[in-house]
Amino acid sequence: MNNKLLLIGGYPKGYEEPFHTKTPSGKILRGILKKNKIEAVLFDLWCNEKEENREKLSSKIKLKLLEYHKKGFILVALGRKVQRVLNNYSLPCNYLPHPASRNKNLVLDLEKGLRELNGKL
C-alpha cells in the first residue's frame, strides 16, 4: 500500500502552483514522482519570497498542515528552511533535500527517500 505524501516547499516562484513544471525544482520533483509512480500532494508554505524570508506560518497554513496530518498524510519538508520552520511550529515532518539542490547526490537522496516514504507502512 502506498502512503499519502504531502511534499512541502517554500513559495511558488511566480507561478500559481507549487513546484511548477517551468521551475528547475518542479521539473526535477515531478520527474522523480512520475518515474517512480508516486502520487503526492504538492504544497507551499508561503505566497512569495518576502513571506518566506520571515519564516512565519499563518494560522491558516498551520491548520491546513494539521488537517493533512490528521488525514494520515506524511508531511515531507523539502529543504532545511522548510524543515526548520515546521519544527519551530511543532509540526511533525520528515526531511528530504530540496529538488533544486545543486548537489546531484542530494537529488538522488531525495528520490530514494521518496521511494522509501511512499512504501512505508
Domains annotated for the chain, with CATH where assigned, are: 5-119 (3.40.50)
Q: Report percent pLDDT > 70 for the chain.
A: 97
pTM: 0.95
Residue 121 is predicted with a pLDDT of 37
pLDDT digits (tens, 9 = 90+) for 45-99: 999 999 999 999 999 999 999 999 999 999 999 999 999 999 999 999 999 999 9
- Look up cell 500500500; give the residue: 1
Residue 14 is predicted with a pLDDT of 84
* Higher pLDDT, residue 80 or 1: 80
CA 102 – CA 3 distance, rounded (Å): 28
End-to-end CA distance of the chain: 8
Q: Dihedral angle at the C-alpha atoms of 17, 72, 114, 102, nearest 10 degrees?
A: 40
CA 38 – CA 88 distance, rounded (Å): 28
CA 74 – CA 120 distance, rounded (Å): 10
